């Protein structure tokens, strides 16, 4: 038999198929694919865990903000004189503060206790009058603390309210 015309023209002999076979390469490729898929899946699980933690923190911040706004609205609805605000809302002895403290403790905000100094607090200061009236006004500082079960430190939300 003669070689094909192209091989005769170029002076090359026809090539033979390779005798070396690649046994097991499909298995290695499959293992690499499973490894990459597993790493990707672990990454997704880590992202999901982070998202759940951030959602919990957002829930606690929202709850703390709601509780602070609740007591601020009670202050606005009351007699806003400095003496009355101090007697009713100042921590730890004010009667309205005690009611609000019970709400905070029943709210489900985690880690609120006197043992780890995470009880909410309300304090007042008097600010000089401004504008045309010159009437002094009170400023309430409302601080709500919480500590999530997995956290080592307490978080706090501080709200300032000016009452005139």
Place of tokens 């009355």: 84
Place of tokens 């503060």: 97
Residues present in the chain in total: 164
The answer to whether residues 79 and 157 touch, using CB atoms and an 8 Å cutoff, is no
Q: Which domain holds residue 110?
A: 24-163
**Domain membership flag for residue 122:** yes
**Domain membership flag for residue 17:** no
| 164 band by pLDDT with thresholds 50, 70 and 90 | confident
**Domain membership flag for residue 144:** yes
Q: How many domains does the chain have?
A: 1
**Domain membership flag for residue 19:** no
Distance CA 114, CA 64 (A): 17
Q: What pLDDT is recorded for position 119? A: 94
Q: What pLDDT is recorded for position 1? A: 53
| % the chain with pLDDT above 90 | 61
**Domain membership flag for residue 130:** yes
pLDDT single digits (tens) 28-79:
999 999 999 999 999 999 999 999 989 989 999 999 999 999 999 999 999 8
DSSP string, 72-138: HHHHHHS---HHHHHHHHSTTT-HHHHHHHHHHHHTT-TT--TTTT---EEEEEEE---TTT---EE
The residue-averaged pLDDT of 73-88 equals 91
Mean pLDDT of the chain: 87
Distance CA 161, CA 65 (A): 13
**Domain membership flag for residue 10:** no
122 vs 134, residue with greater confidence = 122
**Domain membership flag for residue 39:** yes
**Domain membership flag for residue 5:** no
Structure tokens at 8: 């005769």
Structure tokens at 52: 């759940």
């Amino acid at each position: 038999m003669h070689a094909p015309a192209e091989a005769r023209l170029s002076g090359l002999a026809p090539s033979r198929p390779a005798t070396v076979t690649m046994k097991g390469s499909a298995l290695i490729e499959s293992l690499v694919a499973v490894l990459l898929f597993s790493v990707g899946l672990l990454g997704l699980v880590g992202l999901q865990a982070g998202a759940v933690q951030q959602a919990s923190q957002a829930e606690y911040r929202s709850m703390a903000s709601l509780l602070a706004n609740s007591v601020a609205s009670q202050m606005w609805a009351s007699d806003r004189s400095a003496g009355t605000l101090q007697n009713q809302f100042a921590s730890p002895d004010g009667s309205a503060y005690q009611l609000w403290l019970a709400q905070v403790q029943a709210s489900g905000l985690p880690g609120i206790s006197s043992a780890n100094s995470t009880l909410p607090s309300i304090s007042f200061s008097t600010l000089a009058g401004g504008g045309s009236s010159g009437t002094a006004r009170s400023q309430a500082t409302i601080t709500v603390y919480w500590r999530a079960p997995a956290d080592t430190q307490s978080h706090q939300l501080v709200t300032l309210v000016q009452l005139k």
